[in-house]
Amino acid sequence: MKKQFINVLLCGAMVLSTGAFTSCSDDDDDLKSRLTVVEGAIGELKEQLSKALTTGASIIKAEEVDGVWTLTLSNGEVLVIKGSAGGGGGDVSIVENENSFTITINGTAYVLLKGSAVNSLIYSPEYADGIVEIGNTGAKVKFLATPAVSADALKNATFDIAEAHEVKTRGGNGLFKIDGDVTIDGDHLLVPIKALGVDAGKTYAVAVQMDLSGTSISSNYFTVKVDDDFSFNSEVIGGYTIKSEYNAKSLADNYEEITFKGSDFLKVTSFKDFFSELPDGAEFEIASKSKQPGGQAQEKWDALKANLSKNGTWAFNERLGTSFNGNAERKGFLFNVVASDVVKAKVYIVINDELAGLDFVGLFTDQAEAEWGGREKSLPMGAQTIDMQKIITEYETEFPIIHGGNSFFESWTKYVVTLEDAGDVIYNDSEKLVLGSVGKAYIGDGKSRGIYWFNHGFAVYVPEALATDGKYKDENGKEYSGGEGYGYDFWGRGVGSDAPWNVKVAQDGKISIPATYTGYGLRLGIGAAYEYAYGDVRLSKADQMGLFFFNRRLAPAGATMPAPAP
C-alpha cells in the first residue's frame, strides 16, 4: 500500500507537539514577516524529525482529517501538519509506504518507520526483594507497557521469553515459556510464565519479549527463584520414528542427525515429513540459542526460528545465507520435537552445500580497465541505458573498447562454473551470464537474487574534448588535465549501493543514466556476484570485474561539466 499526500506549507501551516498553532493574522502583515513565521515552523519540524531519526522513534499513529495530518511518534511527540491557501512557503509531502512514512521538506526526505504503540516493557515487582517465585503451577508476572496497550492491540501481540539464564551460569531461553494468554491488569500486563528446564532451588534472570505490529520490545531482566520442591522432567526422549529414506544417524545423548544436499533441503516444506511416527500433540521448535552449535547456527538463530512453525511447516521466510558447517566440531543446527512441553526428539540438520568449494572467479583473475568508445564514440546527453553485458560481449565490433583489459574480454564468453557430474552453476550463453540447472536449484524459492550486478565506484572525468590545449578550467579557475579526474570520486562506499547522482546499476547489468546527465566523463566500477540460498560469492578476483570509462576522450555537442567539487 502506498499513498501520497502533498501539502504546501504556508502561513499557518503547522501545529507542533507543544500545542502552539501558527496562523495568518487578520492584520496586513507584510509577506516577509509571514514567511519568517513559516520558515521557523519548517525549521522546528526539521529539528523534530532529525531528533526522531537520531533516537530511533517511529510513527505509531497517523491520522488525516480535512488536510490536517497528525503523526504520533513512539517517543510521545506529536506532529500536526496543516495545508493553507495563499501566502508562500516550502513544499511538504507525506508518503505512506507499507512499513514507513517518508516526509519530504523542501527536497530533504526523512524516513520514519511505522512502529508499535509500545516502546518499553518494564517488569513491575510486587515484593520488596523484586523476586518472582515459581513452582510447578507457574507464575504471573506484571509488566508496565509504555504507552499503555489496549485490549484490542493485545489480541494481535505475541509474547515469548527473550532470554533466560541461571545467575552466574549461562543458560538459554528454553528454561521458561509463556504459558497462556496475556491479560491487562489495570495499567499493567499480566504475563503467565512456566518453568521448564530449570533446577529446583536455583535463581534465574529472565527477560520477556513482546511482538506487536512488526516491532519487538524486550523487557528488562527480573529475578526468578525456583521453588525447592519444583520438579519437571523437560526431556523424555521417545515416541518418534524417522523415515528410513533420511538415513538418520544416531548420536550420543539421544541426538539424531539428518544430512541433506543443499538443493534438496530447499525443497523441504515440513519437518513433520521426516517422521513416520510422532507423539500425540507433537510440536516443532528450533532449540534454544545456547544449545545450538557455536558459530553460524547461533548467529542465524532468529532466522531459523522465523522459518519453522510449531506444526512443522518450514518456509524460507528469512534467507539463511549459511550452510551452518563452519563449526567443524558440531555441524548443522538443532531442532526439537516437543509434546506437553517435554522434548521428545533432538535432531541436527546438516546441510551439504556443494557450491561452497567451487571456484567462481574462474577466468576472471584480471580486471578490465576499459575505455568504451575511445576516439570513436561518446555517450549522448540525457537519460539512457547502458547494457554492460552487451558492451563486454561486443567489445570488438559494436562497442569498441581501448585502454587495456583484453584478456578479461577474451575470457568473457568462456566463463563457466560447473559442479562435477551434476551440471553447470553459471555459464555464458555467448551474450550474458546465465544460471545453469544447478545454479537455479540453489536459488530455492526466489528469495536469493541469483546472478546480480552492482556498482562499486563512481568518478567524474573531464573529457579531452572539453579541454583547450589539454587543459580545462572550472568556474573557480582551477585547472584540470583533459581525461583526468574532476574531484568527484565515490569509491569503495558500499558494494551494491547506487552510484551518486541517480546513476543506477540494475541486477541484470544495465546501467541507467538520468535525464540530468550533461555528457561529462564517467568512470564506473562494475562487479557481478552470485547469491544463492547458502552463500554470496563474487564472480571475479576483486569486488569489481573492471573499471569502465565513458566519454573520457570525446563528448557530445553541448556537453558541460557539473559544478566543481567543493
Spatial separation of the C-alpha atoms in residues 97 and 190, rounded to whole Å:
34
The arithmetic mean of pLDDT across residues 113-125, rounded, is 75
Q: State the cell numbers at 401.
A: 573498447
Q: With cut-offs at 50, 70 and 90, classify the pLDDT of residue 386.
A: very high
The residue whose grid cell reads 544463492 is 532
Spatial separation of the C-alpha atoms in residues 326 and 335, rounded to whole Å:
18
Structural domains of the chain in order of their starting residue, each with its CATH number: 3-113 (no CATH), 120-226 (2.60.40.2710), 241-352 (no CATH), 368-550 (no CATH)
Kind of pairing between the strands at 401-402 and 368-372:
antiparallel
Amino acid identity of residue 329, one-letter, is E
Are the CB atoms for 408 and 546 separated by under 8 Å? yes
For 23, residues 6+ apart whose C-beta sits below 8 A from its C-beta are 11, 12
The predicted-structure confidence for 298-347, as pLDDT tens digits, reads as follows 988 888 998 999 999 999 877 888 888 878 889 999 999 999 999 999 99
The arithmetic mean of pLDDT across residues 493-510, rounded, is 78
Amino acid identity of residue 507, one-letter, is Q
Spatial separation of the C-alpha atoms in residues 344 and 338, rounded to whole Å:
5
For 399, residues 6+ apart whose C-beta sits below 8 A from its C-beta are 372, 373, 377, 390, 391
Q: State the cell numbers at 10.
A: 504556508
Kind of pairing between the strands at 342-352 and 255-261:
parallel
Q: Please, what's the largest Cα pairwise distance for the chain?
A: 94
Spatial separation of the C-alpha atoms in residues 539 and 170, rounded to whole Å:
42
Q: Where are the alpha helices (DSSP H) in 354-480?
A: 388-393, 406-412, 437-441
* pLDDT value of residue 276: 98
The arithmetic mean of pLDDT across residues 540-545, rounded, is 84
Asked if residue 64 has pLDDT above 90, the reply is no
Asked if residue 121 has pLDDT above 90, the reply is no
Tell me the three state secondary structure of residue 116.
coil
Q: Which residues are registered as beta bridge partners of 6?
A: 93
Highest-pLDDT range among 143-147, 192-196, 379-383: 379-383
Kind of pairing between the strands at 222-226 and 423-428:
unpaired
* pLDDT value of residue 85: 31
> 139 to each of 8, 181, 190, 312, how far by Cα in Å?
55, 13, 10, 29
For 453, residues 6+ apart whose C-beta sits below 8 A from its C-beta are 388, 505, 506, 507, 508, 509, 526, 527, 528
For 369, residues 6+ apart whose C-beta sits below 8 A from its C-beta are 403, 404, 405, 546, 547
Q: Which residues are registered as beta bridge partners of 226?
A: 134
Q: With cut-offs at 50, 70 and 90, classify the pLDDT of residue 362.
A: confident
Least confident of 18-27, 86-95, 238-247, 534-543: 18-27
Per DSSP (E only), the strands in 67-148 are 68-73, 78-82, 90-96, 100-105, 108-113, 120-123, 131-134, 139-146
Q: With cut-offs at 50, 70 and 90, classify the pLDDT of residue 18.
A: very low
> 141 to each of 137, 199, 536, how far by Cα in Å?
13, 20, 44
* pLDDT value of residue 347: 98
Highest-pLDDT range among 105-109, 122-126, 173-177, 336-340: 336-340
Q: State the cell numbers at 541.
A: 578476483
- Peptide bond preceding 147 in cis form (omega within 30 of 0): yes
The predicted-structure confidence for 260-278, as pLDDT tens digits, reads as follows 999 999 999 999 999 999 9
Spatial separation of the C-alpha atoms in residues 172 and 343, rounded to whole Å:
15
* pLDDT value of residue 55: 60
Q: State the cell numbers at 114.
A: 511505522
Q: With cut-offs at 50, 70 and 90, classify the pLDDT of residue 19.
A: very low
For 433, residues 6+ apart whose C-beta sits below 8 A from its C-beta are 389, 415, 426, 427, 451, 528, 539
Share of the chain above pLDDT 90, in %: 44
Asked if residue 27 has pLDDT above 50, the reply is no
Kind of pairing between the strands at 249-250 and 255-261:
antiparallel
